[in-house]
Structure formats: C-alpha cells, structure tokens
C-alpha cells in the first residue's frame, strides 16, 4: 500500500484499531457502546450520496461507496441484536467526514468514504473490507456472516459498453433508478406525444423523404441513410439514423480531434463580441453538395423520427453524443445523458444551436432536465421551425 493511502486511513486506524474495539470484537456478546456515527435512514443517506456525487462532479475529488448487502438474509428474520451488531460495526468503521446509513431499508447498508486524496482506491477498499469482515466475523454467527456481501464503488467511475444501467456505476445513482411514481403519468404523456408526433411527421413528410433520398442517390455513391452508434439514455448505446450528408469511407479522426479540443476548451477564443465558438466543424471537406443543404436546413435529421418511434429518442431532449465525445466529458457533463432521454430538438437547438460553448450547451440540457414538463416540450417544438428556417448556428 502507498504512503498516501495509509495517510487517508489514519482516522479509521484510530477508531477500528483501538484497544477498546479489539476487546469488543473478540467478545461479540458485550453490551453495546454508543455508536461512533448515527446510522442514517434511507432517504437521508440517498440525499447525502447525491450531494457527494454532485460535489465530486465539480471538484473531481473521488469518494468510495461501500455497500453491505444483507438481502440474502431477508429469508430469515434477523434478530434485533444481530442487526444492531452490523450497524455498530459500520458506524465504528467511519471517520468524521464519512456517512453510514441504509442504502436500501433493511436490505443494504452503505458507507460513503470521502476525502480519499490521491492514494490507491483499491488499497483503501481492500483494507476497509478486511477490517469490516474481521470485526463482523467476530461479532455475529458464522452462518450469518457467510451470507453477507460487501462491495465497493468509486466515483467518478467508468461505464461499460451497455450503459450505466448495466454496470456497477448504477449503484452510485440510486435516485435515477428508483421509480418516481409522481411523474409516471407525465412520462406516459411524453411517450404518447413522441409516438403521435413522429407518426404524423413521417406521414406529412413522406414526399420530402422520397425526394431527399433520390437526390442523395443521384449525387453521390453510397447508402441513403447514415447509421452511427450514439449514446442514449443512461449511457445505453443505440443505432442513430440520419440522411447521409458526407462522402462514404470518411476517417472520423478530423471530427474526433475537433470535438475533443472543443469540449476541453482548447479552441481559439473568438476575436469579436458577436462571435462564438462553434460546436460543429465548419467547412468540413467530407460533406457533399446536397449534404450542405441538408445540414443547413436540418433536413438530415428527419430519419431520427424512426428512432423516436423505437423509443431510443424523444422529440425533445439533449443531442445524443458519439462514444468518443463521451470519453472527453467531465463527470458533470455526463448528467446530460443520465437524467433525460435524448431528442431531435431541444432547448439548446432553439437557443443558438451550434453557436454556443460546450459548457453552455450542457447547462441548457441540464436546465431542461430539471424543468421538464409536457408544456415545455410543446413550447420547444413550436420554436423549432423558426430555428430551422433561420439556419442560425447550423453547419
């Protein structure tokens, strides 16, 4: 273990390695001492976890979530003393800057370890696992201890290829994955609006779709539709559809490097007050003549109505990023794909489109996610034709 990892654990050492605790651990049936930390209820613990996650998103200072899963014991009723034994051990394993509580009531206990510094998270987790396991084994029956599962989850963490919902990172977002019954009706209304709106749009635009398809075929070699993997709701990938506006066989390196620099804020600062940084690459040599018209009028976006029908997208929401864009995101940027389903149009598109900085775009997406309602969707949809016909910020 590195010296920095040991220094982070000094406070835990004082608590868990004290002579008093060693005596108590060796004699599991002694009366209880006062807990070092109060075991918080589920709602309070979830709020603190959300606060710590948002704090870490901005500061990039890591924290560790330890979960002690007792679900395998739910089939047998735990004695009150056994439950208190487990709570007591966890309360004694925390420092003053940590929080312990019920992650899931009477099923999963959690501890949030903050201020980890630059030491090894793996070493910290392994030492905590060893000490908690040793103390639990000394205080409770062997048959109960063998059915307890301890896991650790570091934030910020990487998502796997199936999205945050199918990875261990989901444990860090309990607020996103617990059903919100208060908004179930509103979300159903949004889905109905998406299905009806996309069906009507496809019927009305069918002649236009046929004309555009013919022009693409006549003016350049390749398929009519451009298919690309995009990152959707909660990080899940899906196949994104557009009318092809580029020549076939293009190297994505040009766009990848441009977007990476733009997200990092490394592009040149505009020289005039009326200028702004542009999210999309201007004068892209890969774009065809017909493609420039389609992009300027946003007609290349029409096939995304099929994505809406499939449920991958909504009529209104943030733009779905490409995977290599997500790799350049700061932790707080990720919330734009975690909190709401991506859409064809959105608050960003009707508020300047490409002529905004990346951070401004993300803030608009997060503002939409917080203030979302069916009425807000209708207002954005009504403002979309003006944004399309003006062509402002479209490239």
User: How does pLDDT run across 46-65, given as a tens digit for each residue?
Assistant: 999 999 998 998 888 889 99
pLDDT given at position 32: 41
CA distances from 213 to 123, 224, 243, 299 (A): 58, 6, 8, 11
Most confident of 24-38, 61-75, 168-182: 61-75
Q: Which two tokens stand for residue 312?
A: 């991958």
Confirm whether 30 is domain-assigned: yes
pLDDT given at position 49: 94
pLDDT given at position 353: 59
* 84: Cα separation from own chain's centroid: 34
Confirm whether 334 is domain-assigned: yes
Question: Quick check: bond before 137 cis, omega within 30?
Answer: no
pLDDT given at position 275: 46
Could you tell me if 95 and 51 lie in one domain? yes
Could you tell me if 219 and 168 lie in one domain? no
From 35-44, 273-282, 320-329, 381-390, the region with the lowest mean pLDDT = 273-282
Confirm whether 39 is domain-assigned: yes
Could you tell me if 92 and 173 lie in one domain? yes
Q: Which two tokens stand for residue 1?
A: 């273990």
Could you tell me if 211 and 168 lie in one domain? no
Confirm whether 155 is domain-assigned: yes
Positions of E strands within 235-301: 237-243
Where does the pLDDT of residue 354 fall: very low under 50, low under 70, confident under 90, or very high at 90 and above?
Answer: low
Q: pLDDT higher for 36 or 252?
A: 252
Between vectors from CA 193 to CA 190 and to CA 195, what angle results, nearest 5°? 110
Where does the pLDDT of residue 240 fall: very low under 50, low under 70, confident under 90, or very high at 90 and above?
Answer: very high
Cβ neighbours, 10 Å, residue 382: 10
For tokens 């702004």, the residue is 276
Could you tell me if 159 and 273 lie in one domain? no
Average pLDDT, the chain: 80
pLDDT given at position 2: 52
Q: Which of 154, 174, 56 is nearest to 105 (CA)?
A: 174
Among residues 145, 177, 209, the one where a domain terminates is 177
Does the structure show a pLDDT above 60 at 3?
no
What span, in angstroms and rounded, lies between the C-alpha atoms of 148 and 64? 19
Could you tell me if 167 and 193 lie in one domain? no
Could you tell me if 76 and 118 lie in one domain? yes
Task: Report the number of distinct structural domains present in the chain.
Answer: 2
Could you tell me if 246 and 186 lie in one domain? yes
Could you tell me if 192 and 295 lie in one domain? yes
Among residues 148, 177, 206, the one where a domain terminates is 177
Q: Are 28 and 139 in contact (CB under 8 A)?
A: yes
Confirm whether 395 is domain-assigned: no
pLDDT given at position 89: 82
Residues in Cβ contact with 168 at an 8 Å cutoff, skipping those fewer than 6 apart: 151, 153, 157
Dihedral of the alpha carbons of 86, 88, 91, 92, in degrees to the nearest 10 = -110
What span, in angstroms and rounded, lies between the C-alpha atoms of 87 and 312? 42
Could you tell me if 314 and 203 lie in one domain? yes
CATH number reported for the structural domain that contains residue 42 in this entry: 3.30.70.270
Q: Are 317 and 341 in contact (CB under 8 A)?
A: yes
Total number of residues shown for the chain: 395
Does the structure show a pLDDT above 80 at 16?
no
b (16+ CB within 10 A) / e for 152-173: bbbbbbebeeebbbebebbbbb
What does the pLDDT look like over 181-211, one tens digit per residue?
A: 777 888 899 999 999 999 999 999 999 999 9
Could you tell me if 273 and 214 lie in one domain? yes
What span, in angstroms and rounded, lies between the C-alpha atoms of 110 and 150? 10
DSSP state of 242: E
CA distances from 373 to 49, 136, 391 (A): 26, 48, 27
- Give the domain extent around 36: 3-177
Where does the pLDDT of residue 282 fall: very low under 50, low under 70, confident under 90, or very high at 90 and above?
Answer: low
Where does the pLDDT of residue 29 fall: very low under 50, low under 70, confident under 90, or very high at 90 and above?
Answer: very low
Among residues 177, 210, 244, the one where a domain terminates is 177
Q: pLDDT higher for 22 or 386?
A: 386
Residues in Cβ contact with 123 at an 8 Å cutoff, skipping those fewer than 6 apart: 1, 2, 5
Does the structure show a pLDDT above 50 at 130?
yes
Could you tell me if 221 and 333 lie in one domain? yes
Confirm whether 48 is domain-assigned: yes
pLDDT given at position 171: 87
Q: pLDDT higher for 29 or 5?
A: 5
Q: Are 235 and 163 in contact (CB under 8 A)?
A: yes
Does the structure show a pLDDT above 50 at 15?
no
């Amino acid at each position: 273990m590195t010296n920095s990892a040991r220094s982070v654990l000094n406070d835990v050492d004082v608590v868990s390695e004290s002579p008093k605790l060693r005596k108590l651990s060796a004699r599991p049936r002694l009366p209880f001492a006062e807990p070092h930390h109060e075991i918080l209820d589920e709602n309070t613990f979830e709020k603190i976890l959300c606060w710590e996650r948002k704090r870490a998103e901005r500061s990039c200072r890591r924290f560790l979530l330890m979960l002690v899963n007792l679900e395998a014991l739910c089939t047998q009723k735990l004695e009150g003393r056994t439950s208190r034994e487990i709570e007591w051990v966890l309360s004694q394993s925390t420092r003053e800057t940590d929080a312990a509580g019920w992650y899931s009531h009477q099923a999963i206990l959690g501890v949030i370890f903050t201020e980890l510094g630059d030491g090894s998270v793996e070493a910290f987790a392994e030492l905590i696992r060893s000490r908690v396991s040793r103390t639990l084994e000394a205080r409770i029956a062997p048959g109960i201890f063998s059915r307890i599962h301890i896991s650790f989850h570091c934030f910020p963490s990487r998502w796997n290829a199936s999205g945050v919902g199918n990875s261990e990172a989901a444990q860090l977002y309990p607020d996103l994955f617990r059903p919100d019954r208060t908004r179930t009706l509103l979300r159903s209304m949004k889905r109905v609006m998406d299905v009806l709106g996309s069906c009507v749009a496809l019927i009305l635009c069918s002649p236009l779709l046929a004309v555009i398809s013919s022009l693409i075929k006549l003016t350049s070699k390749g398929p009519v539709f451009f298919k690309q993997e995009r990152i959707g709701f909660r990080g899940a990938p899906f196949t994104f559809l557009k009318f092809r506006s580029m020549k076939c066989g293009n190297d994505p390196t040009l766009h990848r490097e441009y977007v990476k620099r733009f997200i990092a804020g490394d592009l040149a600062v505009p020289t005039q007050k009326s200028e702004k940084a542009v999210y999309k690459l201007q004068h892209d040599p890969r774009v065809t003549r017909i493609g420039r018209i389609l992009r300027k009028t946003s007609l290349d976006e029409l096939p995304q109505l099929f994505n809406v029908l499939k449920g991958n997208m909504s009529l209104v929401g943030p733009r779905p990023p490409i995977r290599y864009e997500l790799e350049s995101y700061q932790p707080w940027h990720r919330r734009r794909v975690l909190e709401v389903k991506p859409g064809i149009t959105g608050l960003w598109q009707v508020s300047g489109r490409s002529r905004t900085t990346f951070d401004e775009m993300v803030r608009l997406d997060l503002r939409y996610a917080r203030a979302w309602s069916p009425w807000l969707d209708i207002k954005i949809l009504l403002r979309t034709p003006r944004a399309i016909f003006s062509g402002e910020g479209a490239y």
